[in-house]
A and B are shown apart, each in its own frame.
Chain A
């Protein structure tokens, strides 16, 4: 991923998080990432159009609950259910993806977005995202480390997508 693309990914995610949930994110050097060993959620989705790709978002469950409470205007985080916590992470990724496509390719092209999926992150999946130099690292609300990765895919001759070199 080139620098311009990475800057776009970073600025779109920070802006979406602020507008969606009044939470504040700033970029973090990978070596400063402090991820908990447990309680990590991961959401993923793909987009297809003139260009294709995949977005993966790794975040602590505690942050997702805080973001959900903020977005819903809940006074107490205990009001936020497990379903809503997971759903909020998926929606955060969905909104980031939509806004990222416009910020990168403008309003001309038509993209189809997949339905985001989410679940508890396995240690392997978390390590993969954390260790990938293509990943962006953020600190949210001065407390939580979040990882976002954009993988660009190129359509091959039979219409399937492969990871761009």
Chain B
């Protein structure tokens, strides 16, 4: 059974770039879901199982940091790997994510960075 990946970003351009990058990787992907903010992402996460979440931070309604905290405090969602893709530059916020086991990719990114982080995360992750 392949992976279901959720991409959360208020930019349709960024969601498309990440989706395209993933589709070109040698990953067993079943489906790529998309959401434009944390609130909509949570709805999708409660609708069906997701294996990996990419999220931006700066989004309307519910931002990425709030989404990460909501997921980490949820008994079912807390084990899902998350990768933050953002313009965030604050070391304090990046460190907070590190402590939650969430890798961080800074925009703008190259596809190889996404590939590298996924390999590290899923390689070390037991499904």
Smallest CB separation, A55 vs chain B (Å): 12
Once the chains bind, are B92 and A94 in contact (CB under 8 Å)?
A: no
Q: Would you list which residues of chain A between 88 and 122 have a CB under 8 Å from chain B?
A: 88, 90-91, 94-95, 97-99, 101-102, 107-111, 113, 115
Q: How far is the CA of A76 from the CA of B87 in the complex (A)?
A: 28
On whether the beta carbons of B86 and A98 are closer than 8 Å, the reply is yes
* Cβ contact within 8 Å between B89 and A98: yes
How many angstroms from the CA of A28 to the CA of B88 in the assembled complex? 29
> CA separation between A109 and B89, bound complex, in Å?
9
Q: Chain B interface residue count: which class? A: 20 to 34
Q: Does A5 contact B (CB under 8 A)?
A: no
Q: How far is the CB of B87 from chain A (nearest CB, A)?
A: 2
B122 at the A interface (CB under 8 A)? no
CB of B59 closer than 8 Å to a CB of A: yes
B110 at the interface (CB under 8 A from A): yes
The answer to whether A113 and B17 touch across the interface, beta carbons within 8 angstroms, is no
**Distance to closest chain A CB from B21 (angstroms):** 9
CB distance from A151 to the nearest CB of B (A): 19
A116 to B14, CA, bound (A): 14
Among A91, A109, A111, chain B packs the most CB atoms within 10 A around the CB of A91
Is the beta-carbon distance between A71 and B13 smaller than 8 angstroms? yes
A110-152, CB < 8 A from B: 110-111, 113, 115
Tell me, in angstroms, the Cα distance from A49 to B22 when the chains sit together: 35
Q: Is A24 an interface residue (CB 8 A)?
A: no
Number of residues of chain A lying within 8 A (CB) of chain B = 27
Q: Name the B residues within 8 Å of A36 (CB-CB).
A: none
**Interchain CB contact (< 8 A) of A84 among B13, B60, B107:** B13
Q: Which of A84, A87, A101 makes the CB contact (< 8 A) with B89?
A: A101
Residues of A whose CB lies within 8 Å of any CB of B are: 16, 19-20, 68, 71-73, 83-84, 87-88, 90-91, 94-95, 97-99, 101-102, 107-111, 113, 115
24 A-B contact pairs sorted by A residue (CB < 8 Å) = A19-B108, A19-B110, A20-B108, A72-B16, A83-B12, A84-B13, A84-B16, A87-B12, A88-B13, A90-B11, A94-B11, A94-B58, A95-B87, A95-B107, A98-B86, A98-B89, A98-B107, A107-B89, A107-B91, A111-B90, A113-B58, A113-B87, A115-B10, A115-B59
B positions within 8 Å CB-CB of A:
10-14, 16-17, 20, 58-60, 86-94, 106-108, 110
